[in-house]
Chains A and B, each alone.
Chain A
């Protein structure tokens, strides 16, 4: 544990940073090192995810052995250096440098009041990052001084782009919408740009058509190449090769072609972040729904909460599949009937069966059986979920079905209690006996 120069960042159970009130995420960079030559006890920050927000720069480690997650308040930054394009910089990883205000013993000063100044270097090793764009946002956020006004001052420069997620959630987990004027302005700009490109496109429609066909073929070729090269595990020394592969994956993803090596390489950064965000989000609805929820319901709730930047069903499914790789408390489950649900890892089928059994042996249930809605009310879950549980209990031999003009009902399974060699025998104890009494009383 190196000296605490920087503030620690609180993480959620899925490994995402907890944001301050009115703090919004703006941009993410992956595989980032933080270095500071001026401070000897600066911790070893290697290969983490750098998040730029309206208030801070957050560094979250990818593994537990590479330094603790830390934050640098934008308020303590005294200057951001412009990137110098030199011969050296073309061959090395891109770097961002800024000047940080610290106290004499090396701690970050809260609001630029420290007496020392050190230079921090951000080394961006992840390929495919648009550094100029990041720098622009960095400048905008730093000058915007959102931490002083205390509310989400959204300008068109700090809106999110593809590859990052907008901070829609406050610390309490409630949804907060991005400033309306910012959205309207962004939409206006989008329309104007779209209008112009439409005009250009229609100038020569034939050329466009033939180009599109070429592009699709090219994309397919690249996809095939990626597929074949990923199966041959070359050594990691081919850093350049790996880098261009990451580039290609990201580009393919943005064009809409799902990465063919998703399962092996744990997905593009977008899906990883989405996956973690989803795990955080489902916690509360899952609790309210009794530990298990239909995937379709999650899809609706999640998109409604996001408001803008809706995700597709395919994205949702990918995000759920990625949970296997992370240590999150939720999992995806598919029933025999094909219904897919999200459930807490702590959920116990046995406990549900015990409750169903006790419901099915009550006098009313012995007489007329139970329907999916009866079970739903007793178990406190949705009727669709209740039906799945009843069917599973049936397949375990706990219940059996009764289909009639009255509907689809379930009874406690008495068949094992009947002796085929003595069909008139009803032992004077046990569930068969209880049922027999109840049935004769009403019949």
Chain B
């Protein structure tokens, strides 16, 4: 079984046509399905939040069979993820893509659970602490992309679960939970 780092790759990763965008509709739909799932699964396990199209993304090439996805194919697959609500383009020219292997709503729930589990209901934390503090170690929140975290927090703020305020330093914000 082939591996990418410590990620186990499925057998069809060695099937050359997998890396050529298929023109026939039924075949293409199957191909898209497999790529969507693979991208999300890989990003989730490797905690990858952003894919840059013009850089080498290890999942998009297979040196063993000397094949890699063309730029057109990469953009096609990521665009499908975007329309599924599982990704977002970070720029107009589609060079960077934010991968939402958890939707924003799901992240919001994860934050709520985290707060409840660690009894932080009435406390105050900085955004950075949520991301990389001692409490978050071992949880899914650890190392979360800052953009995604802010979006989830803002969603919770709209629901009245917390309040975001500017911190003492210019670039750090704080969160007061009121769950």
List residues of chain A with CB under 8 Å of any chain B CB.
369, 394-395, 397, 400-406, 409, 411, 413-416, 418, 420, 423-424, 426, 432, 435-436, 439, 443
- Give complex CA distance A397, B17 in Å: 13
Residue of B nearest to A411 (CB): B17
- Give complex CA distance A420, B12 in Å: 11
Residue of B nearest to A420 (CB): B33
**B residues 36-59 touching A (CB-CB < 8 Å):** 37-38
CB distance from B74 to the nearest CB of A (A): 15
Partner of A423, one of B12, B20, B64, B65: B12
* B14 and A402 contact, CB distance less than 8 A: no
- Give complex CA distance A369, B14 in Å: 13
* A423 and B34 contact, CB distance less than 8 A: yes
Q: Which residues of A contact B37 (CB under 8 A)?
A: 420, 423
Partner of A413, one of B16, B23, B27: B27
- Give complex CA distance A443, B66 in Å: 11
Q: Which residues of A contact B159 (CB under 8 A)?
A: none
* A424 and B11 contact, CB distance less than 8 A: yes
Residue pairs across A and B with CB atoms within 8 Å: the count is 70
Interface check B24, CB cutoff 8 A: yes
* B11 and A415 contact, CB distance less than 8 A: no
Interface check B136, CB cutoff 8 A: no
CB distance from A194 to the nearest CB of B (A): 55
List residues of chain B with CB under 8 Å of any chain A CB.
8, 10-12, 14-17, 19-20, 22-24, 26-27, 30-31, 33-34, 37-38, 64-67
CB distance from A74 to the nearest CB of B (A): 63
Q: Which residues of A contact B14 (CB under 8 A)?
A: 439, 443
CB distance from A435 to the nearest CB of B (A): 7
- Give complex CA distance A411, B18 in Å: 10
CB distance from B80 to the nearest CB of A (A): 14
* A403 and B20 contact, CB distance less than 8 A: yes
Partner of A402, one of B17, B27, B34: B17
* A426 and B17 contact, CB distance less than 8 A: no
* A418 and B34 contact, CB distance less than 8 A: yes
- Give complex CA distance A424, B10 in Å: 5
* A395 and B24 contact, CB distance less than 8 A: yes
* A404 and B67 contact, CB distance less than 8 A: yes
* A423 and B15 contact, CB distance less than 8 A: no
Given A415-B31, A418-B34, A423-B34, decide whether A400 and B12 contact each other with a Cβ distance below 8 A: no
* B10 and A423 contact, CB distance less than 8 A: yes
Q: Which 8 A-B pairs have the closest CB atoms?
A: A415-B30, A402-B16, A400-B17, A423-B10, A402-B17, A403-B20, A411-B17, A420-B33
Partner of A418, one of B20, B30, B65: B30
Q: Which residues of A contact B10 (CB under 8 A)?
A: 423-424
Q: Which residues of B contact A435 (CB under 8 A)?
A: 15
Q: Which one of B17, B23, B34 has the greatest number of beta carbons of chain A within 10 Å?
A: B17
CB distance from A293 to the nearest CB of B (A): 26
Q: Which residues of B contact A426 (CB under 8 A)?
A: 11
Partner of B24, one of A397, A409, A420: A397
CB distance from A236 to the nearest CB of B (A): 52
CB distance from A100 to the nearest CB of B (A): 68
Q: Which residues of A contact B67 (CB under 8 A)?
A: 402, 404
* A404 and B66 contact, CB distance less than 8 A: yes
Residue of B nearest to A443 (CB): B64
Q: Which residues of B contact A397 (CB under 8 A)?
A: 24, 26-27
CB distance from B126 to the nearest CB of A (A): 40
**Could you show 14 A-B contacts with beta carbons less than 8 Å apart?**
A394-B27, A397-B26, A402-B16, A402-B17, A402-B19, A402-B20, A403-B20, A404-B19, A406-B66, A414-B17, A420-B34, A423-B37, A432-B11, A443-B64
CB distance from B136 to the nearest CB of A (A): 31
- Give complex CA distance A411, B10 in Å: 18
Q: Which residues of B contact A409 (CB under 8 A)?
A: 16
Q: Which residues of B contact A405 (CB under 8 A)?
A: 66
Q: Which residues of B contact A420 (CB under 8 A)?
A: 30, 33-34, 37
CB distance from B135 to the nearest CB of A (A): 35
- Give complex CA distance A424, B8 in Å: 9
Given A404-B66, A404-B67, decide whether A439 and B34 contact each other with a Cβ distance below 8 A: no
CB distance from B59 to the nearest CB of A (A): 14
Q: Which residues of A contact B23 (CB under 8 A)?
A: 394, 401
Given A400-B17, A402-B17, A404-B67, decide whether A414 and B24 contact each other with a Cβ distance below 8 A: no
Partner of A400, one of B8, B11, B22, B64: B22
Q: Which residues of A contact B66 (CB under 8 A)?
A: 404-406
* B30 and A416 contact, CB distance less than 8 A: yes
Q: Which residues of B contact A436 (CB under 8 A)?
A: 11
Given A413-B27, A414-B12, A418-B12, decide whether A401 and B22 contact each other with a Cβ distance below 8 A: yes
